């Protein structure tokens, strides 16, 4: 199973995805440029991604605390903004496409 991640420079990466991992963990495991500073505990918003519009409906909707964190600390929020640490990868998401949002880059 795979997902497609477009990084902050516009480069597309097709990466293997493991069921039961969060999408943030999958991206981090492939050494793409994601800071994900709080390791998935909803206190940083540095795992912000834009989910491809075709896939949006297949995800469970964000919980209130995810929306709160996005609004408080993420930048350039769009309708399809999500925190990738809150998306659990399952078989149904095979092929998922997303883009890393600005402000998620690791320190240079």
Partner 1 sequence: MTKQDVIKTDAVIIGAGPVGLFAVFELGLLDIKAHLIDILDRPGGQCTELYPEKPIYDIPALPVVTGQELTDRLMEQITPFKPEFHFSQMADSLAKTEDGLWRVGTDDDTLLEAPVVIIAAGGGSFTPKKPPIKGIEEFENTSVFYAVRKMEQFRDKNILISGGGDSALDWTLNLQPIAQSVTLVHRRDEFRAAPDSVNKMRTLANDNKITLHIAEPVALNGANGQLESVRLRSKTSGEFDVVCDTMLPFYGLTMKLGPVANFGLNLHENLIPVDTEKFETNTPGIFAIGDINHYPGKLKLILSGFHEAALMAQQAFRYIHPDKKLRFQYTTSSSSLQEKLGVK
Ligand X SMILES: Cc1cc2nc3c(=O)[nH]c(=O)nc-3n(C[C@H](O)[C@H](O)[C@H](O)COP(=O)(O)OP(=O)(O)OC[C@H]3O[C@@H](n4cnc5c(N)ncnc54)[C@H](O)[C@@H]3O)c2cc1C
Interface positions with ligand FES (CB under 6 A): 24, 36-38, 40, 42-47, 69, 83, 85
Kindly state whether residue 54 participates in binding partner 1, applying the rule CB under 8 A.
no
Pick the closer one to ligand X by CB: 95 or 103: 103
Span 22-41, contacts to partner 1 by CB under 8 A: 35, 37-38, 41
Distance CA 99, CA 102 (A): 10
The H helix count followed by the E strand count for the chain is 3, 5
Distance CA 88, CA 101 (A): 19
Residues lying near ligand X in the complex (CB under 6 A) = 38-39, 41
């Amino acid at each position: 199973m795979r997902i497609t991640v477009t990084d902050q420079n516009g480069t597309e990466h097709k990466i293997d995805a493991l069921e039961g991992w969060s999408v943030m963990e999958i991206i981090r495991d492939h050494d793409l440029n994601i800071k994900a500073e709080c390791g998935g505990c909803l206190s940083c918003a540095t795992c912000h991604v834009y989910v491809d519009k075709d896939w949006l409906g297949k995800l469970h909707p964000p919980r209130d605390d995810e929306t709160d964190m996005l609004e408080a600390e993420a930048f350039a929020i769009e309708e399809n903004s999500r925190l990738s640490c809150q998306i659990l990868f399952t078989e149904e998401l095979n092929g998922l496409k997303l883009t890393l949002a600005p402000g998620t880059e690791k320190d240079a």
